Structure 1
Amino acid sequence: MDYEIVIISNRPHLSQGAQSCLAGLNSRIFDGTNYPSFSKIVNDAITSSLYEEIIICNDKARPTHAAVEKILAMLKDGWGLVGLYRFGFFGFKKDLIRKIGFFDERFIGGGYEDNDCIRRLKEANISYYESEEIDYIYLPTSWHYEKTNIAKNHFFGKWREEGNVTTRQVAEEDYKYDIGPLKNINFTEFDKSILLPYNFRLKDMIMQTSLLD
């Protein structure tokens, strides 16, 4: 077994519900209490994992064993990131993070980090599978959305979109987290991506940068 499922949560009653759906599988709960951003929780979950394949599970997700098997099979087939409830239940290999970098921790308060990650996948020409095919409990978020303007402003400062052209304006931060050397795994290309309707336009998007080398 070279994978684990990390349930990120600061609400024990919800995380235990998610974990019960995963009984018999390699899962653990990661306490995200007082974390400043979703990105920081995910990054710490990655760096604390001993495994090469990681599935991140939101405490409101209610996945089946079959959903876990589907993610693992798709990763084996070369998909870069597989989300069976968008970024509420998603899996990837650590080599993806080695290639495109860790989640951007400047999205304080939660929000926009998923939009950012998808554009980075497009920029790196790595495939993304996006669906809403598992059960998910709709409850108020535990994030402090009064801070969301910080995340929103960072996103639109980082990426400028004009028509079908997206320009990177801000570089990634260089986090000094150690998850081992790049293995140079071959990922399938972004054109293979399966996206929800509101993201269809990303397939035709042209990525460019205003940053100097």
Structure 2
Amino acid sequence: MDYEIIIISNRPHLSREAQSCLAGLNSRILDGTNYPSFSKLVNEAIVSSWYEKIIICNDKARPTPAAVQKILTMLQDGWGLVGLYRFGFFGFKKDLIRKIGFFDERFIGGGYEDNDFTRRLKEANISYYESEEIDYIYLPTSWQYAKTNFTKNHFFKKWREEGNVTTRQMAEEDYPYDIGPLQNINFTTFDKSVLLPYNFRLKDMIMKTDLVD
């Protein structure tokens, strides 16, 4: 077994329901109570896992074993990040994180971290598969981003978007996490990405940077 499914949640009844869909598979629940952001919780899941292939499962996702196998197969085929319900049920190899960095923990409270990560995939020319093909329960989020513009403001401080040009204005933070050395896995390129309609424009987006080496 070369993977782990980590159900991130601060709602025990929902996380147990999600885990029941994954009976017989290698899964565990990570209690997200008191975590300051979705990004911090995902990073904790990555650091605490012994496995190279990680699948993150939201407590509202209701995946099947076939969905898990699809993610694992696509990762083996070189996809960078595979989301079968966007960032509600997604998988990747740790080498993706070694290559482009951890999730940005400055998105306090949650929100916009997925927009940020997709632009980082585009910037690194690494493929992203995005769909909404598994069952998902529509409930209010447990994060607080609906109550503040903090994460939105951080996103637009980090990225300047003008037409089809996106310019990086802020570097990634360097977190003191250790997940081992880069293995230099070859990922398929971003032009192979499969995206939902609202993200189609990422294919033609031109990435630039204002940062000086």
- Does TM-score exceed 0.5, indicating one fold? yes
1:148 offset after TM fit, Å? 3.5
Instruction: Provide the identity percentage.
Output: 87
CA deviation string 1:83-127 (max 9, x = no partner) = 000000000000000000000000011100000000000000000
Is the contact between residue 108 and residue 148 of structure 1 (CA under 8 Å) also seen in structure 2? no
Is the contact between residue 110 and residue 148 of structure 1 (CA under 8 Å) also seen in structure 2? no
1:149 corresponds to 2:127 = no
1:169 corresponds to 2:169 = yes
Whole-angstrom distance in 1 between the partners of 2:140 and 2:114: 18
Total equivalences in the alignment: 213
Whole-angstrom distance in 2 between the partners of 1:9 and 1:134: 18
Q: How does 1:92-171 map to 2 (within 5 A)?
A: 92-145=92-145, 148-171=148-171
Q: Report SS of the residue matched to 1:25.
A: coil
1:39 corresponds to 2:39 = yes
Q: How does 1:25-104 map to 2 (within 5 A)?
A: 25-104=25-104
Whole-angstrom distance in 2 between the partners of 1:32 and 1:46: 14
Mark the runs of 5 or more structure 2 residues left unpaired by the alignment: none
The Cα RMSD (Å) is: 0.7
Residue identity in the other structure for 2:82: V
CA deviation string 1:48-79 (max 9, x = no partner) = 00000000000000000000000000000000
Where do 4+ consecutive residues of structure 1 move more than 3 Å? none
Q: Which residue of 1 aligns with 2:8?
A: 8
* Structure 1 length-normalised TM: 0.99
Is the contact between residue 145 and residue 151 of structure 2 (CA under 8 Å) also seen in structure 1? no
Is the contact between residue 109 and residue 146 of structure 1 (CA under 8 Å) also seen in structure 2? no
Mark the runs of 5 or more structure 1 residues left unpaired by the alignment: none
Stretch of structure 1 that moved more, 87-96 or 141-150: 141-150
Residue identity in the other structure for 1:83: G
1:145 offset after TM fit, Å? 2.8
Stretch of structure 1 that moved more, 139-148 or 181-190: 139-148
Residue identity in the other structure for 1:16: R
Q: Report SS of the residue matched to 2:40.
A: helix
